[in-house]
Amino acid sequence: DIQMTQSPSSLSASVGDRATFTCRASQSISTYLNWYQQKPGKAPEVLIYGASNVQSGVPSRFSGSGSGTDFTLTISSLQAEDFATYYCQQSYSVSWTFGQGTKVEI
């Protein structure tokens, strides 16, 4: 199985900050990388698919980049509602695997 590693595991930030976190795959997955946001007690929601494609309805402050094994999710200006946990997930090969998550805290 393809292993996904996210860093950092947690990040302290303030409203208005730029936040960047990374995801690394154990082998090349081209651009088959998705990002999800999960708030406490809620189901995840997709933000980015195909490494850089923003899901419809997701604010433009979210962007993704990368290919091969290294990927980045960037929030250009953190809003209060962005404090959550973010997961990457590869869709290159079944079984789909997730990273362990990055928690963004105030």
Q: How far is 32 from 83, CA to CA, in rounded Å?
A: 25
Stretch that binds other proteins, among 14-22, 43-51, 61-69, 74-82 (CB under 8 A): 43-51
For CA atoms 59, 65, 67, 72, give the dihedral sign. Answer: negative
Q: Which of 37, 73, 87, 104 binds other proteins (CB under 8 A)?
A: 87
Does 96 participate in binding other proteins (rule CB under 8 A)? yes
Which tokens is 103 given? Answer: 């928690």
Closest CB to other proteins among residues 19, 29: 29
Stretch that binds other proteins, among 20-28, 31-39, 59-67, 71-79 (CB under 8 A): 31-39
Q: Which residues contact 64 (CB under 8 A, 6 or more apart)?
A: 33, 35, 47, 48, 51, 52, 53, 54, 71, 72, 73, 74
Kindly list the residues in this chain that would bind other proteins in the complex (CB under 8 A).
1, 30-32, 34, 36, 38, 42-46, 49-50, 53, 55, 87, 89, 91, 94-101
